[in-house]
Amino acid sequence: MDQRGDEAKLRQIADELTDRLTEALPSWLEDIALQRVEEGGLPVDETLRRRIGDCARVVCEELSPRVRSVITADVDLAAGSPLAVLRDGLGPMDVLLDELGLPAPARDRMATEIFPGDTYDLGPASFADIHRDLRDVGIAWGAARAHVHRQRHGEGGVAAAGAVPGRPPFDRVLASVVDVEGWMTDDQARLLYDRAAELEPGGRMVEIGSFRGRSIIVVARAADAGVEIVAIDPHGGGDRGPREIAPDGTRGDEDHAVFMGNLVDAGVIDRVSHVRKMSDDAHGDVAGGVDMLYIDGAHRFGPARADIVAWGNRVRPGGTMLIHDSFSSIGVTLALVTTTFFGRSWRYVGRARSMAEFRRAELDPKARIVNGLRQVGQVPWFVRNVIIKVLITLKLTPLTRVLGHRGSDWPY
Ligand SMILES: C[S@@+](CC[C@H](N)C(=O)[O-])C[C@H]1O[C@@H](n2cnc3c(N)ncnc32)[C@H](O)[C@@H]1O
């Protein structure tokens, strides 16, 4: 299909998504609010049902035109995410549930950090949360937008109209990923931003494990326009997050669509080349050496070690390797023990929580011992994290407070 045909197709998909979404919204909001009421142990009678139903209708009447304008906006406007518009607009339902005396449910740390205002966990994380039939049209919409954007600007071409010229300050970049799901804390984002900002034009950054784009958006917005940025993620729904190891095609396709949409929204779709493959199959898709490598893919020992060895070998002398879930995940930590702890090639610089930083260097025997001992020094923190995970798995989450942990999410 030619460009005009593709743009018309995008408009058609956007209209279809809007029509079906706005139709599904009121009953979804009513159902999720009633579900929270039941989970909170409040009795549900007709009066309460009517109040919640009325509130859902009013909220959705207000939200529908706003959602429509975001979904149908031109791709170059970087108008934002419709799911973010929805999450931001659910306040009146939160107020009603609060008035009804509903206690706030326990929320995991990621949800609390990313969506602090969503007290009752009402906000949808995907179109399929609103209605399962919206999944495919939502995926088609994300893919069509990314396609049209690439057609207009080409791979790595002109910066998107929504992109900020020059380097936006860190706070603005952080604010732009607040709605993008992921397991990257603010101080970890800061570390990524700083290292990406230091890359020279002509340099190359590779990320292994991109999920929905939270970390790669930070890198793409911080790095000079002359830096090549590659995101490797098979989006197969496996090795995805804490306790989400088995592959799941449906989940993976949804991650892929949301990832593409998030990159468009952030104005960086033309800055990032996505390789939809497992990291060990992707070597041929990246030419030459790497100046900054971020490893956050499969966290099991075998693949984590293979990423450090094979992709780490491609990092140029003086280059940076950052590894998420270091001294937190058992697989990643064992991979470090067998590679960086007493090896010759990586100087341990420090860490932002579980994001460890290494510099490629040739270490002499004395430097290797010092380097190894510095990493051994992180083992008590690792033991603490393993204990927290065991307590959470045994449903003894309150005991993790003794170790300074908050929430029911695994430490990262
Ligand atoms: C923890 S998430 C990455 C989070 C992301 N860095 C962020 O901050 O938003 C892990 C991702 O690794 C991907 N993954 C799993 N196995 C992989 C592999 N062998 N190669 C590359 N990516 C992989 C998963 O699909 C998942 O999206």
Q: At 138, is the pLDDT very low, low, confident or very high (cuts 50, 70, 90)?
A: confident
Question: What pLDDT digit, counting tens, does each position of 55-64 carry?
Answer: 999 999 999 9
Question: What pLDDT digit, counting tens, does each position of 272-283 carry?
Answer: 999 999 999 999
Which atom of ligand 1 is least distant from the CA of 303?
19
Which strand (E) or helix (H) includes residue 348? strand 346-352
Question: Mean pLDDT throughout 19-38?
Answer: 95
Q: What is the pLDDT of residue 327?
A: 94
Ligand 1 centroid–CA 151 distance in Å is 27
Q: What is the pLDDT of residue 164?
A: 41
Q: What is the pLDDT of residue 35?
A: 95
Residue 187 φ/ψ, nearest 5 degrees: -70, -30
Give the amino acid at 268: V
Map residue 322 onto helix, strand or coil.
strand
Neighbours of 364 (CB within 10 A): 9
Question: What pLDDT digit, counting tens, does each position of 193-213 carry?
Answer: 999 999 999 999 999 999 999
Report the distance separating Cα 78 and Cα 160, nearest Å: 8
Which atom of ligand 1 is least distant from the CA of 214?
9
Ligand 1 centroid–CA 144 distance in Å is 23
- Distance from chain centroid for Cα 125: 12
Beta strands at 228-232 and 204-208: parallel, antiparallel or unpaired: parallel
With a Cβ cut-off of 6 Å, ligand 1 is lined by: 182-184, 208-212, 214-215, 232-236, 239-241, 255, 278-279, 296-298, 303
pTM of the model: 0.72
Q: Is the model's pLDDT at 96 over the cut of 50?
A: yes
Contacts of 197 (CB under 8 A, 6+ apart): 167, 222, 223, 224
Which atom of ligand 1 is least distant from the CA of 183?
8
Neighbours of 253 (CB within 10 A): 17
Question: What pLDDT digit, counting tens, does each position of 272-329 carry?
Answer: 999 999 999 999 999 999 999 999 999 999 999 999 999 999 999 999 999 999 999 9
Which atom of ligand 1 is least distant from the CA of 181?
9
Nearest protein Cα to ligand 1, atom 18:
278
Helices (H), ranges, 72-177: 82-88, 91-99, 109-114, 127-130, 134-153, 170-176
Contacts of 141 (CB under 8 A, 6+ apart): 10, 13, 14, 17, 71, 257, 261
Map residue 409 onto helix, strand or coil.
coil
Please, how many CA atoms are within 13 Å of residue 255, restricted to the half-sphere of its CB? 25
Ligand 1 centroid–CA 156 distance in Å is 22
Helices (H), ranges, 154-213: 170-176, 186-197
Q: Is the model's pLDDT at 163 over the cut of 50?
A: no
Per-residue three-class SS string for 349-376: EEEECCEEEEEECCCCHHHHHHHHHHHH
Q: Per the structure block, which two tokens stand in for 383?
A: 């033991």
Domains along the chain with CATH numbers: 3-136 (no CATH), 157-377 (3.40.50.150)
Neighbours of 410 (CB within 10 A): 23
